[in-house]
A and B are shown apart, each in its own frame.
Chain A
Amino acid sequence: MMAAHNSTFAELPPPAAPPVPVAVVEEHPDVALVARAKAGDTSAFEQLVKQYDRQIFRTANHITQNREDAEDITQDVFFKAFQKLEQFKGDSKFSTWLVRIAVNESLMRLRKRKTSKTVSMDQDVETDEGSIPRDFAEWRPNPEQIYSQSELGDILRKTIGGLPPGFRTVFTLRDIENLSTEETAEALGLSVPAVKSRLLRARLQLRERLSRYFRQKTEATK
């Protein structure tokens, strides 16, 4: 019966709640999960893995540019996090803490790989290529509508993969994973000005390269 059913929920707020609950306003739910995990509740830890595996995989994949490495790193990150859980004091977000571990693992992987293309975080500052804008064409309003999802994915992967590791790492943390400049600096052991300068170059280089694909046809290109 509806009447009886309604009265059960009498003390709840009116049913005008937003359709999709997204915002996390008060205490972050991770705090409770981490506390439970620390107390030995593995299902709580598993929940954290579930929440952040995509983000960790994405970060590792961006930095290493290698899918298999990213899979290994994702496993290692969560395993290390589990082992070091006691060290997590909660002065940063749990996700930021995980990302920091992921960055370390990924950079270590990159250094181990030592291919000729691999540059250290310090070296690649030297390159200025693409940091000075040359392409001033406007973009088509929605590149997503001009290319298929898979073509667009190829373009975006190829373009970010072509950046020096130090640049794409900063771009990934700041612009894709939404870390603050300070958090990014901390994760990478760089100064804030160094992060800012890399971010600028990364953004400008990506912009320059994407412009080749997305530029609007002008009289000149006809």
Chain B
Amino acid sequence: MNCTDFLAKLTDFFDGNIESELMAEVSEHLGHCRHCEVVVDTTRHTIDIYRGNEIYEFPDELSQRLRSAVMARCEGVKPAPAQAEGAESVGAAGSLR
């Protein structure tokens, strides 16, 4: 297995989708190829860092504003059953305001 072969299997490798036979070849390559080892390591860091950092702020204020807008639109389309009007305040949604 050379570096190109290894790269072709990288996605499956990350997903744990490699049959044991091939896995032996993969490990063998990783064992002696410093470059591929670094690629595996830093690719894993890349994924982790994107997973671990919320890069687009989503403040509560925005969440509430969007939610109110959505709910207002929904009310307009499909009015809740008549008796739900008063019952709404005891719903599970928690108090927002």
C-alpha gap A139/B39 in the complex (Å):
10
Contact B34 A136 (CB under 8 A): yes
By size class, the interface of chain B is 35 or more
Contact B39 A46 (CB under 8 A): no
* Dominant secondary structure at the B interface: helix
Q: Chain A 30-51, CB within 8 Å of chain B: the 1/0 string? A: 0001000000111111110110
Contact A207 B67 (CB under 8 A): no
Q: From the candidates A44, A61, A78, A144, name the one contacting B91 in the complex (CB within 8 A).
A: A44
C-alpha gap A82/B75 in the complex (Å):
10
Q: In the complex where A136-B38, A136-B39, A206-B50 touch, is A41 in contact with B67 (Cβ < 8 A)?
A: no
Query: What would 17 more interface pairs be, CB under 8 Å, given A49-B71, A54-B58?
Result: A42-B75, A43-B92, A50-B63, A62-B56, A71-B62, A74-B66, A75-B66, A78-B74, A136-B38, A137-B38, A138-B38, A139-B45, A156-B49, A175-B50, A196-B12, A203-B11, A204-B7
Report which A residues bind B (CB closer than 8 A). Answer: 33, 40-47, 49-50, 53-54, 57-58, 61-62, 67, 70-71, 74-75, 78-79, 82-83, 133, 136-139, 143-144, 152-153, 156-157, 160, 171, 175-176, 181, 196, 199-200, 203-204, 206-207, 210-211, 214
List 13 A–B pairs whose Cβ atoms lie within 8 Å, in order of A's numbering. A43-B92, A43-B93, A44-B91, A49-B67, A57-B62, A58-B58, A78-B66, A83-B78, A136-B35, A156-B49, A204-B7, A204-B39, A214-B42
